[in-house]
Amino acid sequence: MGMGITNELVIENADTDNAGQLQQLQNLMAKNVDAILVNPGDVTALNATLEEAVNKGIIVISVDQALDAKGVYFVGIDQKQWAMTSAQWLADKLGGKGNIVEIEGFPGHPANIDRMSGVDEVFAKYPDIKLLAIDTGKWDEATGQQVMSNFLSAYPTLDAYWTQDGMAIGAFQAVLAANPAKFPVVVGEGRCQFLKLWSDRLKVDPNFETIAVANPPGVSPTGLRIAVNILMGKKVDTTKLGGPSHTYFVIPVPVIVTKDNFQQVFATCANKPTTYLLDGIMTDAEVQQYFVK
């Protein structure tokens, strides 16, 4: 195997708060690294430090989280579009009318703001879709389950609900446990555990269908591929980038599961842990689209 182009990979990893992430960034800057990949937990807390890194000539890439920080690149999916995919499926499945509830992630978190604005945009086209209530599941499976249980008690004839990420697993478990006379239309997440619940439901109701959209963890290795290309001196083609200042590498959502491809995708979960999130990592050849040929 030939020599790689990196001679050192420094990883700082911890379930930490903003102060902890700032400390990690300071550690990396002190080591004079050439590039930093970060998945920030807050939309503003790290910006000044990340801009300081950019000013030192370090390439900074924020994965999965778009920031308003000068010179910082973003690598991730279009969160708004991602949410609109399942919201549109839900509206179509309802035939444009019905009573629904929504379970959102953390209010104020940038990804949640993007997603909910997309959902609002879709449902705004259907005046006969009535939003009865919205609550936060805090992006937590157990909280999502509790919130859904409360909704089912309050609105026993609910037509459908929209939610996102792992909360979809908790919400679906709440519906299965309540087993209402009229099953609401559900949306899901591209995770093997959700697909397993889908498969179990099909045994009871062969006509059951839902949608599962994945937010791929592969954004991190894709971000690394992009960083390596920049370090090799390749020039970024900013016309191919999105965002307000053309610094967003918007990557395609790799997997959308509907009744049409369900069996085929579920088969790939056979040897995976239930927590496995359907993934896609862009190849080096694929990331070349973002660079000047």
Taking only the tens place, the pLDDT of each residue in 105-160 is: 988 887 888 899 999 999 999 999 999 999 999 999 999 999 999 999 999 999 99
**125 contacts: CB under 8 Å, gap ≥ 6:** 91
**pLDDT reported for residue 6:** 62
Per the domain annotation, does 109 fall within a domain?
Answer: yes
Residues 92 and 165 in one domain: yes
Domains of the chain: total: 2
pLDDT band at 14 (very low <50, low <70, confident <90, very high): low
Environment class of residue 81 by beta-carbon count within 10 Å: exposed (0-12), middle (13-18) or buried (19+)? Answer: middle
Per the domain annotation, does 258 fall within a domain?
Answer: no
**pLDDT reported for residue 2:** 40
Per the domain annotation, does 5 fall within a domain?
Answer: no
Residues 130 and 223 in one domain: no
* Pick from 202, 184, 194: nearest CA to 259: 202
Look at residue 193 and tell me whether its pLDDT is greater than 50: yes
Residues 140 and 102 in one domain: yes
| Domain around 246 | 18-77+216-252+281-290
